[in-house]
């Protein structure tokens, strides 16, 4: 999909290691910009299966994430906020299983968001049934940065307290919402 500046739906992905405020920020941004947000499928999947995830789950997680994105794209206004995407699936698959299904790597690149808001790990970790890897948070953050750089993704690091994160995210997204300049003769 192309950015709004070219007349299409912009996709903004909130991404990063566990417990950095992705879901809360995605929800707030969607409300602020009057649009919808796509929840992280992997989190709900992990809670539903209620067992340690395996490499066999990666395919189901990726397909669920794609389905959620495709469905909610229909309800988006001019921007779609993603609470993670297939880039997360590839990062975690590689980190935990040392492998990524080829089709997922291809789709992650093909479905790359217009902007990634990479949330820093400078906020407290709060464990819950779906978040238990505090000791791996710094490694995960480095993996996200590396993969986003390898993909050539437009990425802005978002840090600070919760309000500062929101303010910085809004500032980063607002240019995507500016009406495009009409060409001569339009």
Tell me the CA end-to-end span of the chain in Å, nearest whole number.
23
In a domain, 15, yes or no: yes
**Has residue 59 been placed in a domain?**
yes
Looking at residue 136, its pLDDT comes to 77
Q: What pLDDT sits at residue 78?
A: 87
Nearest in space to 36 (alpha carbons), one of 88, 71, 86: 71
Tally of domains in the chain: 1
Task: Enumerate residues 6+ apart whose C-beta is below 8 A from 93.
Answer: 55, 58, 99, 100, 101, 104
In the chain (186 residues long), the average pLDDT of successive 10-residue segments reads: 50 93 95 95 93 96 96 90 96 95 97 96 76 75 94 96 96 81 40
Chain position carrying tokens 């500046």? 5
pLDDT of 4: 32
The answer to whether residue 149 is domain-embedded is yes
Establish if 139 belongs to a structural domain.
yes
Question: What pLDDT shows up at residue 131?
Answer: 59
Residue at 186 is within a domain: no
Write the CATH number for 93.
3.40.50.300
C-beta of residue 27 within 8 angstroms of C-beta of residue 33: no
């Amino acid at each position: 999909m192309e950015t709004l500046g070219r007349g299409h739906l912009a996709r903004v992905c909130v991404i990063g290691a566990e417990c950095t405020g992705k879901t809360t920020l995605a929800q707030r941004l969607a409300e602020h910009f009057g649009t919808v947000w796509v929840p992280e499928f992997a989190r709900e999947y992990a809670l539903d299966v209620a067992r340690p995830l395996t490499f066999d789950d990666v395919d189901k997680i990726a397909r669920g994430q794609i389905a959620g994105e495709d469905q909610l794209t229909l309800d988006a206004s001019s921007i779609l906020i993603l609470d993670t995407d297939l880039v997360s699936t590839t990062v975690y698959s590689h980190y935990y299983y040392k492998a990524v299904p080829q089709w997922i790597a291809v789709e992650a690149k093909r479905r790359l968001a217009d902007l990634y808001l990479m949330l820093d790990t400078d906020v407290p970790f709060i464990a819950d049934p779906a978040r238990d890897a505090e000791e791996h948070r710094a490694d995960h953050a480095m993996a996200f940065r590396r993969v986003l750089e390898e993909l050539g993704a437009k990425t802005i690091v978002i840090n600070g307290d919760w309000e500062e994160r929101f303010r910085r995210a809004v500032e980063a997204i607002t240019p995507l919402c500016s009406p495009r300049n009409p060409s001569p003769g339009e």
